[in-house]
Structures are given as structure tokens and as C-alpha cells.
Amino acid sequence: MKLATVRTPSGTRAVRVTEDGGYVDLGVGDVGELLESPDWSAHAAAAETPLTGVTGFAPVVPRPGKVFCVGLNYRTHILEMGRDLPEHPTLFAKFADALIGADDDIALAPESDAVDWEAELTVVIGATVRRADEQQAAAAIAGFTVMNDVTMRDWQFRTKEWLQGKTFEGTTPLGPVLVTPDELRGGVRPSLAITATLNGETVQKADTGDLVFDPVALVRYASTILTLRPGDVIATGTPGGVGHARKPPRYLADGDVLVTEVEGIGRLQNTARDDS
């Protein structure tokens, strides 16, 4: 099942996306609100009312209570950089104001000269869990979506704490859809091609099966720290190929088109625009 939060002239709506690309209205304003219902899956599957007049995608969860992100989580990328595999996930956060829709423009803040890309498979939580065991963590995964963790590198590395470079407003596409695990190869531990292209050139290419800490492990870890709730998201990390690691470094410029895609889930296409 594929779910999305779409925009209409009267506001956003949560929908089920049909096989022919149509939309079925789920009776609530967004996917985050839908997931708050314990029977969200049955309700979404049974809905029948078509929705027309869709103008585009909002972030699949527009206002998540928590946006966890994970650094250095692709095995091949870590080893090629000459680093040891980590013992624990490296966690940081974003805020909801950073999120944009699947086709929205990325805001290039005039305060940064080093805006980078990071394609990521992203977990969407569908149940409340705290200190989850493996079975509980797997059951808490509503599905997966796509994120690009657009990062202001010069701000990220101003200090040892990354947050300030990771959550600039209007920078982070999330969507276009949530896909439930039963539709993906590998289920709650999906093994899917992930790519990013910049102006048609492939800059990142990997398989999500290469994650050091898989989605179930990340839900277990994060839920040890605090309660995860429906609509929370966990971006699982990015593979090699980011602009900052290139020699010379390469960053987003006004007019650049960034496409982020995860096999079986969907595609983000965002144009970088000067926000000055």
C-alpha cells in the first residue's frame, strides 16, 4: 500500500495511491494524522472515495514530532573512507520546518556557500513504542519513504555539533509516498537501489541492504532514548558520493536539479533556488 499527503486547493489530504496513479481520500488532512489511529492500515485499505484536484505532494508526514537522522551508516562507504565500522548509531535531528514536498524547491540560504546532498531511505513510525525489542520494533514500522538530507556543510562543521547545518528551513524533501513493508523486497529490512542525480549525472548509487544499522535496529536504539510515536521519522543515513567529499568539493547552486530515488518507493525531484 502506498500513502501520501497531497495538496489540493482546499488544503492537504491523506490519500492512498492506486496502482493506476489515482488517489483515494482517507478522510484526514495528512499521513501523520492517519497513523495516529490504531486501525490506520485497515482504514486506508478499505477507503473508496476518489480524490481529484490534486496539485502536488506535501511532505509525506508534514509535522513529525521527531525527525531522527543517522550519520555514517553505509558499510561500503565507511570502509572506503578508511574508518572502522561504528559500534553505535550516530544520531542527530532535524525540525519539521526543514521539510518540503517531493517537487518543491530547495531553499539555498544566502548564509551558506556549501549546500550538499544526501540521499536517504527513511523509516516512518506507525505505533507508539518505548524500549522496543526486535519484534516490537519491526511491528512499529508503518513503512518507508525517501528523504534528501540537504546539509549546509559550512554550518555543520562550525562546531562539533551538527544540528545547525542540518535543519535550515525549507531544505529537506520527504516523500513522495509511504510504502508499507509488505510491498518491498526485504520487508522491514529492505534491500533496494538508492540513487541521487544532479543535473542528470549520477552522484550517489548504493543498495539499502548495505546499512550497518538496519531499520529495525535503529527503531530499537532510538526507542531506548525516548518514546517513538506515530508519524515520527528516522532517516537511515546516506551512501558515498556526497559533494563535500569530492576533490574539489561540489555543492548545489541556483537552478541545479536534484533527483533522489529509492527503488519501489518513489522519486523526489527538487530544484535548488536562491533564497536571498
Low-confidence ranges of the chain (pLDDT < 50): none
Type and span of the H or E element at 43: helix 40-46
Reference 60, options 272, 261, 232, 262; nearest CA is 232
Co-location of 30 and 95 in the same domain: no
Co-location of 204 and 167 in the same domain: yes
Contact present, 7 and 57 (Cβ < 8 Å): yes
Q: What is the pLDDT of residue 231?
A: 98
Q: Is 276 exposed, middle or buried (0-12, 13-18, 19+ CB in 10 A)?
A: exposed
Distance CA 263, CA 191 (A): 9
Contact present, 120 and 236 (Cβ < 8 Å): yes
Co-location of 47 and 73 in the same domain: no
Residue 180, classed as helix, strand or coil, is coil
Q: What is the pLDDT of residue 81?
A: 67
Residue 239: cis peptide before it, omega within 30 degrees of 0: no
What's the structural domain count of the chain?
2
**CATH for 104:** 3.90.850.10
Q: Which of 15, 39, 57 is the last residue of a domain?
A: 57
Q: Evaluate if pTM is beyond 0.95.
A: yes
Co-location of 87 and 140 in the same domain: yes
Type and span of the H or E element at 148: strand 141-148
Q: Which of 57, 72, 89 is the last residue of a domain?
A: 57
Co-location of 167 and 87 in the same domain: yes
Q: Which of 39, 57, 75 is the last residue of a domain?
A: 57
